[in-house]
Each structure stands twice: as C-alpha cells, then as structure tokens.
Amino acid sequence: LLNIMIIDTRGTIDKKSCSECRCNHFINLPKNFYNDTFGVDGKPLSPNYKGGLFCCKDELQCKLKKGFEAPRRKLAIRYKITWVDWDQHQIPVRFYILDATDRVKKIGSLVIHDCQAEYTIPPSNAGIKHSPPHTQKANIPIEKGGYLIYSTAHMHTGAVNGTIYGQDGRVLCTSKPTYGKGEEPGNKKGYVVGMSTCYPEPGSIKIKDGEIVTMESRYKSGYRTGVMGHMYIYLVDRLPENIYRPTQV
Ligand SMILES: *[C@@H]1O[C@H](CO)[C@@H](O)[C@H](O)[C@H]1NC(C)=O
Ligand SMILES: *[C@@H]1O[C@H](CO)[C@@H](O)[C@H](O)[C@H]1NC(C)=O
C-alpha cells in the first residue's frame, strides 16, 4: 500500500493553516459539510471540528492570495520494488501502529481500541516562551508481543518527539523529527522532512504478551489541528540464528 496525501500550498495566504487542514481556511467546503461528513466514530462531524483529515478532502481548495494563479503541474511517482526469494530462515514480522489518541476500553478480557487517528492541540500556552510541549498519550495493551525489530513515529510539523515505553517505564524507542532548512524538495524550511528510526540490537528489546505499552506524542505548544502521533512497530516471535541485517530498508 502506498498512501500519499498531497496538499498544494502554492500561493495560499497561510501555508500553516492550509497544511494543517483548518476547515475555515477552505473556500469550497460544501454547504452541509458538518452534517454530511462523518468522523472516525461514524457520526456527523461536530461543529467543534476545526481542522484535520476531513477538511482536506479531494478538490477542496485553500484560500489563495489575490490574483494568484498556480501554473498547472503534472507530477508522477516512480518506485522500485525489489524482493528476495523466500527461504526457511526468514522470519515474518508483525506490524502494529500505536496511536497516541487510542482510547482503549476493556470489557472483561476484550480490548477495544478506539483510535481517533488525529487530534487538535489547544491554543493554551501559545506564544509563551519555553512553555513545555503538549503531550498526548495512550496506554495500549499489546496482545501478542515479541522482539522489537524496527520502530519509527509518524508525526507532523511541530513534533518534538514520539516515544514508546514498556509497562515498567523503560524506553522502547524514541523517534525525533528532522526539520528542513532550505528550499529544495525534501528539505523545505520549517517542515518535518524525516523521523528518526530505531533498530534495536535484535533480541535486546522484548515486549511481553499483554504488556501495556505507553505511546507518548509531544508537540511544541500552540494551536495545531490535524496532528498525529503514531508509532509503527515491527515485532518478531523468534530471532534468526545468523542475524541478517538489511543495509537498506
Ligand atoms: C444540520 O443538521 C441539524 C440537525 O438536523 C440542522 O438543525 C442544521 O440546520 C443542519 N445544518 C446544515 C448546515 O444543514
Ligand atoms: C522528548 O522531548 C521531551 C521534551 O523536550 C524531553 O524532555 C524528552 O527527554 C524527550 N524524550 C527523549 C526520550 O528524548
């Protein structure tokens, strides 16, 4: 699966509002938008929904500077798929996305995940120097644990770090953003252009079956909509005898 979202911010009056999908920043939201759009919970969006995924729908257009007309651009994506032939020594990974907005409920032994996918950071503390980052966290039981092989966070601009902790408080992985410094693609000033990854020494970090892992997502304080705090983790049940380390992923 290749999931790509493209937001064209050329000529917009406010790139930040546009890329955070602030609803009131779009000029062509349908009239009954709030009644006709269903949120993650399957219910019509609340009028308190100020921005995020649902306001960045296809064909919606951010407010543009007067008279601005973007030249049409054709974009294409090129990708390469490589593979190795299956052999008995390969060990499958189990892949989870831990979401800092998950409102986990337990009914008896049944665990119900209720991920919001995105959240809003309230404007409190905005502009106050050295105000601490905003933290969003969730305690998530990992039904089937394993050795941690790889982990990285998915976060947006404003991210400070994303961290997962084991039930005993040990840090399993911290992923930190890299901010762009220039103008060229992949290095745009002020935007998150990468998140660091964790490749623990295989066997060194184990999540037990049923262990409650805490996902913590930190952003610089200040109003932001549509932010995300996801951690991708790959787990394996057993370790290979001769550890094969890919040099490139
Ligand atoms: C949305 O639905 C509510 C309740 O049915 C109604 O009162 C309101 O006028 C509707 N809003 C729009 C913009 O259609
Ligand atoms: C994440 O950021 C917070 C706030 O700056 C900092 O206190 C914390 O040490 C960072 N976590 C890690 C594991 O680096």
Within a domain: 100: yes
**196 and 111 part of one domain:** yes
Beta bridge partners of 131: none
pTM reported for the whole predicted model: 0.89
Within a domain: 77: no
Ligand 2 centroid–CA 219 distance in Å is 11
Angle at 201 between CA 198 and CA 205, to 5 degrees: 80
CA-based nearest residue to 106, from 114, 94, 95: 114
Please name the residue whose Cα sits nearest to atom 12 of ligand 1: 32
Q: What is the average pLDDT across 79-107?
A: 93
pLDDT at 210 over 60: yes
Q: Which ligand is nearest to the CA of 31?
A: 1
- Which amino acid belongs to residue 243? I
Instruction: Give the pLDDT confidence of 27-47 residue by residue, as tens digits.
Output: 999 989 999 999 998 999 999
Within a domain: 104: yes
* Alpha helices (runs of H) in the chain, residue ranges in sequence order: 15-19, 33-36
Q: Whole domain around residue 40: which residue ranges?
A: 1-66
**49 and 8 part of one domain:** yes
* Structure token pair of residue 217: 């997502």
**9 and 119 part of one domain:** no
**113 and 17 part of one domain:** no
Within a domain: 221: yes
Q: What is the CATH number of the domain that holds 202?
A: 2.60.120.230
Q: Could you give phi then psi for residue 229, rounded to 5 degrees?
A: -140, 85
Residue 242 has a pLDDT of 64
Average pLDDT, the chain: 92
Within a domain: 58: yes
* Structure token pair of residue 203: 């066997």
* Structure token pair of residue 194: 């990468």
Within a domain: 245: no
Domain count, the chain: 2
Q: Which residues contact 127 (CB under 8 A, 6 or more apart)?
A: 222
**32 and 99 part of one domain:** no
- Place 243 in a pLDDT band, splitting at 50, 70 and 90: low
Within a domain: 19: yes
Within a domain: 79: no
**136 and 211 part of one domain:** yes
Residue 241 has a pLDDT of 74
**24 and 103 part of one domain:** no
Please name the residue whose Cα sits nearest to atom 4 of ligand 1: 35
Residue 189's alpha-carbon distances to 8, 38, 125, 186, in angstroms, are 16, 34, 24, 9
Residue 247 has a pLDDT of 63
* Structure token pair of residue 8: 């064209």
**181 and 231 part of one domain:** yes
Residue 224 has a pLDDT of 95
The pocket around ligand 1, CB under 6 angstroms, is made up of 32, 35
Q: For ligand 1, what atom is nearest to the CA of residue 31?
A: 13
CA-based nearest residue to 97, from 234, 219, 217, 197: 234
**45 and 115 part of one domain:** no
Q: For ligand 2, what atom is nearest to the CA of residue 132?
A: 4
Instruction: Give the pLDDT confidence of 177-192 residue by residue, as tens digits.
Output: 999 999 998 999 999 9
**29 and 112 part of one domain:** no
CA-based nearest residue to 217, from 138, 162, 158, 155: 162
**60 and 126 part of one domain:** no
pLDDT at 125 over 80: no
